[in-house]
Structure 1
Amino acid sequence: MKTGNRTVRRFWGAQAASLSFSAACRKALQTFTTRNGCHSQGASASCRRRQASSLCSPETRRNPFWPVALLIVPIFYLASCAAPDTQHQIVVSTREQKLALIDRGNVVAIYPVSTSKFGLGDWRGSRYTPLGKMQIAQKIGDNASPGTVFKDRRRTGEIVAPDSPGRDPIVTRILWLRGLEAQNANALSRDIYIHGTPEERRIGTPASYGCIRMRSSDIIQLYDIVGTGAAVTIVNAPLAAAVPSLVSAHSMADTNAAPFVMR
């Protein structure tokens, strides 16, 4: 650590007046996680391996923030290992183009969505929407403005308005799905997401390239409720057939069983 300490002394000698320790910590986290597309909320195992590799690279060791990062990254890793969300469940009906959010067995919201216009399946290189049981592997887009464009799960800095002519990027939020069955084993590697879309006029009809699209306002609401590890089931059947507890919005409102949102 002598080299690291000399680096720190040179660095603090030059900038001690303008940079606090907490600011250095924030800068270290930004340097070693943002460039890898990794975030503390829902960071995957592969993501954490990239972070560890990044910390040991010669390029990183030359960074004056490196000794600071070595002190705080273990805390960062602990924060990334939060317990999976077992309270919430998502069920998507490709037949009805709807998504139901379930909280402890109660359906609390139903949103219109858009699944693949090419059909259903999970073949490598295909543009189909996979069926079956999955889970949220990673959440991406904390605090992004509605319409924020993502490319390779990174913010580009651009914001696109709903229904902008000729524009169809991934926007606002991303819930990256991991398949749990043979019939959807390729979902993670195929980058199957629940995400926002600027093509909001097409929500409610099959229009995607394999993902489940939502309006920006809806994906923000869903993203803020569910956590990593939450169960996701995609079925080619009506929601009522897949969710036995599903009742009409009017019946639920009458019984006050749960706050219900029908978009």
Structure 2
Amino acid sequence: MPVSRRFVALGLPVLLGGCVSARPAPMAYTAARRASLEPQYYDMYAELDDEPFPVPAVDIDGIDPRYLRQPVAYTGPERPGTIVINPNQKFLYLVQDGGRAMRYGVGVGREGFGWHGNATIKRKAEWPTWTPPSTMIMRQPELEEYASGMPGGPDNPLGARAMYLYQGDRDTLYRIHGTIEPQTIGTRVSSGCIRLINQDVIDLYRRVSTGTRVVVLSGGGGGEGDEFS
């Protein structure tokens, strides 16, 4: 049984370094809301066939349209190239020139597990390895086989890409990463990590480099203009 499905079957959370996944109740959207989606979104979240492992198409009819990738107005003070994360709104912004940003829906830390502050992307990885912490292996001895790391792949909880957040030379243990559970986007589900739909994290990964500044807001403050929702 794949590792993620095994955890669900046992009723146990999936721990991703500093990230714990708790599956939320499924959301329902009206037929009218689904019909309002522009055709481009179905292409944007279609199956990717140019990756080392399968990236299946996303059932975007089950995701609030606000959380689909889209360009928006942005009026915050951050310089272009900065990533700004608003945990309250479950949005990640990549600030661009001309008062614009690319906005992505994200899953964020559960109540009591959030964090905020400034960080820097110091490492990036495609199809990253997942290594359960020793404390988790003590609680779940069956994970001993992954003590040296679970290789990247379609069942790896970190998804297709990971960007590792540091403060100075200290690894915060928080990541911006993909997910094999796209239905968790727009929810509070982790222990602080920021997760994106795999198609979105691949897009973001291509746009940023190591050294990118990341700002995680502490309150409801945004920076977006009239399109803020």
Relative to the length of structure 2, the TM-score reads: 0.52
* SS of corresponding position for 2:190: coil
The yes-or-no answer on 1:227 pairing with 2:209 is yes
Which string of whole-angstrom CA distances, capped at 9 and with x for unpartnered residues, describes residues 175-197 of structure 1?
A: 100125xxxx96x1x42100001
Q: Give 1:105 shift.
A: 6.2
Which string of whole-angstrom CA distances, capped at 9 and with x for unpartnered residues, describes residues 184-232 of structure 1?
A: x96x1x4210000111101101101221011001100100001111110
Q: Give 1:134 shift.
A: 1.1
With over 3 angstroms needed to count, the CA separation of the structure-2 counterparts of 1:139 and 1:105, relative to structure 1, is: farther
Aligned residue number for residue 177 of structure 1: 165
Aligned residue number for residue 83 of structure 2: 90
Q: Give 1:154 shift.
A: 6.6
Match of 2:107 among 100, 106, 114: 114
Q: Give, as a single letter, the amino acid of the residue that structure 2 aligns with 1:173.
A: R
Q: Give, as a single letter, the amino acid of the residue that structure 1 aligns with 2:176.
A: I
Kindly report the root-mean-square deviation, in angstroms, between the aligned alpha carbons of the 2 structures.
2.8
Counterparts of 1:29-40 in structure 2, within 5 Å, are none
* SS of corresponding position for 2:107: coil
Q: Give 1:107 shift.
A: 2.9
Counterparts of 1:50-65 in structure 2, within 5 Å, are none
Match of 1:129 among 110, 114, 118: 114
* SS of corresponding position for 2:203: helix
**1:87–1:230 Cα contact (<8 Å) kept:** no
**C-alpha distance in structure 2 between counterparts of 1:209 and 1:106, whole Å:** 32
Match of 2:130 among 151, 155, 159: 151
**C-alpha distance in structure 2 between counterparts of 1:176 and 1:149, whole Å:** 10
**C-alpha distance in structure 2 between counterparts of 1:197 and 1:226, whole Å:** 19
Counterparts of 1:249-260 in structure 2, within 5 Å, are 249=227
Aligned residue number for residue 212 of structure 1: 194
Q: Give 1:242 shift.
A: 3.9
**1:203–1:215 Cα contact (<8 Å) kept:** yes
With over 3 angstroms needed to count, the CA separation of the structure-2 counterparts of 1:105 and 1:237, relative to structure 1, is: farther
Relative to the length of structure 1, the TM-score reads: 0.45
Between the two proteins, the alignment pairs up a number of residues equal to: 135
With over 3 angstroms needed to count, the CA separation of the structure-2 counterparts of 1:217 and 1:154, relative to structure 1, is: farther
With over 3 angstroms needed to count, the CA separation of the structure-2 counterparts of 1:149 and 1:140, relative to structure 1, is: closer
Unpaired runs of at least 5, structure 1: 1-85, 120-127, 142-147, 161-167, 251-261
**1:171–1:216 Cα contact (<8 Å) kept:** yes
**1:150–1:171 Cα contact (<8 Å) kept:** no
Q: Percent identity?
A: 27
Unpaired runs of at least 5, structure 2: 1-78, 132-147
**C-alpha distance in structure 1 between counterparts of 2:86 and 2:219, whole Å:** 6
**C-alpha distance in structure 2 between counterparts of 1:151 and 1:171, whole Å:** 10
Structure whose alpha-carbon radius of gyration is higher: 1
**C-alpha distance in structure 1 between counterparts of 2:222 and 2:206, whole Å:** 24
**C-alpha distance in structure 2 between counterparts of 1:154 and 1:174, whole Å:** 15
Bigger RCO (CA 8 Å, 6+ sep):
2
Which string of whole-angstrom CA distances, capped at 9 and with x for unpartnered residues, describes residues 229-248 of structure 1?
A: 1110001333xx342xx224
Which string of whole-angstrom CA distances, capped at 9 and with x for unpartnered residues, describes residues 37-83 of structure 1?
A: xxxxxxxxxxxxxxxxxxxxxxxxxxxxxxxxxxxxxxxxxxxxxxx
Q: Give 1:104 shift.
A: 3.8
